[in-house]
Structure 1
Amino acid sequence: MQSRQYPLRHAMLAISEGIAEFTHQRPQARNALSLELRQDYVDMLGIVEADREVRALIITGSGGSFCAGGDLRSIRGLLDDPDPAVREAAAMRRRLTDIHGWLRRLRDLELPVIAAVDGAAAGAGFSLALAADFVLASERALFSMAFVKIGLVPDMGAMYALPRAVGMGLAKELMYTGRRMDAREAHQRGIVHALHSADTLPGAARRFATRFLDAPREAVALTKLALNGALESSYDAMLAMEGQAQGIAASTAYYRDAIGSFLRGERPRFDWDRAARDA
């Protein structure tokens, strides 16, 4: 499988051996979510969605920072713009609507999405991490709903995702105060799946992603789709979703081959525990 690199504006997308790695590459600004980086997400998702060989996506930062939030220099420029239409509430709403388009695609991507967080994940950076299926973090990672520090409300899906991740009480505390949560607390609270040193985090994230290479793509995608709506759905709706998804999964070649292997006494193609031992 050929390795490919896609240099973008403020990020790099690399695809190798079934794993896509999207790296924020503006360390001098702590990988703030610039207009260019937002467009990079749009372009990256288009590439990854179209590539059936990709089985997992890693999102990470460079230079010891994941993403420090919105680009305050760009925001300052908007505030100083002489055109009042640029500063009105409707303009901010339109900008967020544009973000919501690719953010929903990221959340619903039919692949496991792994955020490898080293250093700051603040404001929009924290929201980005919450859009992933799994968060792996370095021991020096910091998480903060920093929006309140500049007089804004949490956005980019944080008001939806954070209460579901940690409960309403802690979500209110983090959002009202903007306090920093270190990696250890984030792990204890269930935001972070696993902790690693800063040096070993990139390799650990790739090994974790690699364990999905032999997973049934359709079954994982259908499970993710169902779980993303599970907390808003009734019991009957989820039973119906299970039935529809199972019908699709049971029609795949993967399922047919897996049943044959089991009946022949062969090892399953996808075995998470075995993959962990091998890794």
Structure 2
Amino acid sequence: MTQVPVDLREIEPGIVQITMQDKEHKNTFSDGLMEGLIRAFAAINANDRYKVVIITGYDSYFASGGTQEALLAIYESKVNFNDTNLYSLALDCRIPVISAMQGHGIGGGFVFGLFADFVVLSKESIYTTNFMKYGFTPGMGATYVLPWKLGIALTQELLLTANNFRGVELEKRGIPFPVLPRAEVLDYALQLARQLAEKPRVSLITLKDHLVSGAREQLPGIIEKEVAMHGKTFHLAEVKDRIMGLFGK
């Protein structure tokens, strides 16, 4: 039986878990993964029992960003990254979201996880905003969520250098998130989810609305600016060469 790219299930009363498990594509944003995520969050927002979401990946992968085909489609002006809104699924979710990033978070995959209300990283995994590795400027709301969550100095290093960082290295840099051995990430997230699930659902929704209202208001303007930067940077011949030669390395 073929495994679905995204599994959604209520693991305890009020706690729902999204597992990204597109092993064929190593949790890059394939059509199946994107469609599964959009359906999962729509189902969560429509369910009045749920109080908290845990989103995680499989094995050593959390989320790996755009596929090579998708990057080439943007290069060829066939699509923009904002044609499919993945970046704000966690931000717009009515209830709190915990990113249990037990595995690698690559490019847009790392950015996607950072939009959650709570983030848990693993010591062993690689986290990178590698857009500039391919020569194009960041998207997915990266230029907003990174300084918001990580601070401007680390953001500049992550975005401009496109370097890889292990979770343990980010921990040493003072990031404000728990960084645990991979095997402990999901358990930690579950314990946190249980604490949240003790609270009244209306109170969780009301407080989240207040805490993220500024981000929800500002993000659309940021996305417009990122798309405009793509108009200047994504269509360079060098970018296509890099996508073809460096993807997955």
Partner of 2:33: 37
Instruction: Tell me which of 148, 151, 160 is aligned to 2:132.
Output: 148
- Kindly state the Cα deviation for residue 198 of structure 1 after the two structures are TM-superposed: 1.8
Give runs of ≥4 in structure 1 deviating > 4 Å. 188-192, 230-233
Identify unmatched segments of 5+ residues in structure 1.
Answer: 1-6, 80-85, 234-279
Name the structure 2 match of 1:66: 62
Letter in 2 for 1:16: I
| Deviation for aligned residue 1:184 | 2.5
Corresponding residue for residue 87 of structure 1: 76
Q: CA deviation at 1:9?
A: 4.3
Q: Does 1:187 align with 2:174?
A: no
The change in CA–CA distance for 1:34 and 1:57 in structure 2 (over 3 A counts) is same
* Structure 2 CA distance for aligned equivalents of residues 173 and 126 of structure 1: 15
Match of 1:135 among 116, 119, 127: 119
Bigger radius of gyration among the two: 1
What secondary structure is seen at the aligned counterpart in 1 of 2:179? strand
Instruction: State the one-letter code of the partner of 1:21.
Output: Q
SS where residue 212 of structure 1 aligns?
Answer: helix
TM-fit CA distance, 1:120: 1.1
Q: Name the CA distance, whole Å, in 2 between partners of 1:190 and 1:132.
A: 19
Does the C-alpha gap of structure 1 residues 37 and 24 become closer, same or farther in structure 2, counting only changes over 3 Å? same
Q: Partner residue of 1:255?
A: none
Per the alignment, residue 16 of structure 1 pairs with 11
Higher deviation after alignment, 126-135 or 192-201: 192-201
Q: CA deviation at 1:217?
A: 1.9
What is the CA–CA distance in structure 2 between the aligned matches of 1:42 and 1:232, rounded to whole Å? 18
**Which digits, 9 at most, give the CA deviation of each residue in 1:94-146, with x for residues without a partner?**
xx23323x533421212111111123101011111111111112221221011
Matches of 2:147 and 2:41, distance apart in 1: 26
Task: Say if 1:30 and 1:63, in contact at 8 Å, map to a contact too.
Answer: no
**Pairing of 1:1-279 with structure 2 (within 5 A):** 9-17=4-12, 18-76=14-72, 78=73, 87-88=76-77, 91-93=78-80, 96-100=81-85, 102-189=86-173, 191=175, 193-230=177-214
Structure 1 pair 161/74, CA: closer, same or farther in 2 (3 Å)?
closer
Q: How far is the alpha carbon of 1:218 from its aligned partner?
A: 1.9
CA distance in 1, matches of 2:206, 2:172: 29
Q: TM-score scaled by structure 2? A: 0.77
Partner of 1:161: helix, strand, or coil? helix
RMSD: 2.5
Bigger relative CO (Cα 8 Å, ≥ 6 apart)? 2
Q: Is the 8 A contact 2:108 2:140 kept in 1?
A: yes
For 1:127 and 1:28, the matched residues in 2 are separated by 21
Distance 1:72 1:192, change over 3 A: farther
In 1, are the aligned partners of 2:103 and 2:122 still within 8 Å (CA)? yes
Runs of 5+ consecutive residues of structure 2 not aligned to the other structure: 218-249
Count residues with an aligned counterpart.
Answer: 215
- Using a 3 Å threshold, how does the CA distance of structure 1 residues 67 and 192 change in structure 2: closer, same or farther? farther
> 2:61, 2:5 → 1: CA distance?
14
